[in-house]
């Protein structure tokens, strides 16, 4: 059984929409996929999911020949809950949202042309991806996978989950990761056109990934060598992979 909320048109001051969970005693998974819009997820101590849309109302702009262009404002959205999975689907992919979730929830967020994705205080798994925008994550406790194609990643971990690998990558942007001072981790760093900085005492080595094809009589021989920095924090632990093509990587020691 599922709940389905269909929002066709929202006023200038949109109300916060409460989405009940099928089983509030279990963690929720919240999914948001938007093309033109930002997503801000905040943990709260309630047992439901609450959604606020942007408050952009109808507006008028000048147009040629003395006419006026009337913009409709906020787009509609479908919100669906099934078995503690809440899916937020903007109409035509357009819309910005503030989503309040129970602390132990997991989130899966993606945006194409949004300003940013922000996640605060979420204790479950985090999966965030954006094409043109940045990702900001604070006080995370679960495993994180984050990718920004053209933007920066700024992440603060409240703890590093044992036995859970994590991954951070960007093509054109920097990665700024803060870990607890007591964190144990194995770092796997691939930074091609930037520098890497850390205030942890790292035991650093270098590894080379070698890929060959066509060596045994194929039509074309190809060799790819990729140099990766390996480092251990506090004796090592779960793997944290970090990849940047054009940008610096910062690994900071938190409290």
Beta bridge partners of 15: none
| Residues near 201 by beta carbon (within 8 Å), at least 6 away in sequence | none
pLDDT tens per residue, range 88-106: 998 877 888 999 999 999 9
pLDDT in tens, the chain (255 residues): 455 554 433 444 456 899 999 999 999 999 999 998 899 999 999 999 999 986 556 678 888 888 888 766 556 889 999 999 999 998 877 888 999 999 999 999 999 998 899 999 999 999 999 999 999 999 999 999 999 999 999 999 999 999 999 999 999 999 999 999 999 999 999 998 899 999 999 888 988 778 888 777 778 888 877 788 999 999 999 999 999 999 999 999 998
Residue 94 belongs to a domain: yes
Residues of the domain holding 80:
2-142
Residue 172 belongs to a domain: no
CA-angle at 51, arms to 157 and 108, nearest 5°: 45
Cα separation, 106 vs 104, whole angstroms: 7
pTM of the full predicted structure? Answer: 0.84
pLDDT tens per residue, range 186-196: 999 999 889 99
Beta-strand relationship, 77-82 and 2-7 = antiparallel
Residue 99 belongs to a domain: yes
Q: What is the pLDDT of residue 85?
A: 98
- Provide the number of structural domains found in the chain: 1
Residue 89 belongs to a domain: yes
Residue 40 belongs to a domain: yes
- CA torsion angle 49 53 55 59 (round to 10): -160
Say if residues 239 and 186 touch (Cβ distance below 8 Å).
yes
Residue 166 belongs to a domain: no
Q: What is the pLDDT of residue 215?
A: 76
pLDDT tens per residue, range 131-175: 999 999 999 999 999 999 999 999 999 999 999 999 999 999 999
Residue 225 belongs to a domain: no
Residue 98 belongs to a domain: yes
């Amino acid at each position: 059984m599922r709940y389905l909320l269909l929002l066709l048109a929202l006023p200038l001051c949109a109300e916060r929409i409460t989405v009940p969970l099928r089983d509030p005693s279990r963690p929720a998974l919240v999914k948001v996929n938007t093309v033109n819009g930002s997503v801000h997820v905040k943990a709260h101590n309630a047992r439901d999911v609450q959604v606020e849309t942007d408050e952009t109302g109808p507006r008028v702009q000048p147009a040629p020949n003395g006419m006026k262009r009337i913009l409709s404002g906020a787009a509609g959205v479908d919100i669906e809950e099934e078995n503690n999975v809440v899916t937020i689907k903007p109409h035509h992919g357009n819309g910005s949202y503030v989503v309040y979730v129970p602390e132990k929830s997991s989130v899966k967020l993606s945006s194409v042309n949004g300003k940013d994705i922000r996640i605060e205080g979420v204790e479950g798994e985090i999966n965030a991806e954006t094409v043109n925008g940045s990702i900001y994550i604070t006080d995370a406790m679960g495993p994180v996978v984050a990718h920004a194609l053209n933007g920066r990643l700024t992440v603060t971990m409240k703890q590093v989950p044992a036995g859970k690998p994590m991954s951070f990558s960007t093509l054109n942007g920097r990665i700024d990761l803060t870990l607890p001072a007591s964190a144990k981790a194995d770092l796997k760093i691939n930074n091609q056109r930037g520098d890497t900085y850390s205030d942890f005492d790292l035991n650093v080595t270098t590894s080379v990934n070698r890929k060959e094809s066509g060596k045994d009589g194929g039509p074309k021989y190809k060799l790819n060598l990729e140099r990766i920095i390996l480092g251990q924090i506090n004796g090592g632990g779960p793997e944290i992979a970090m990849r940047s093509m054009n940008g610096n990587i910062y690994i900071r020691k938190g409290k």
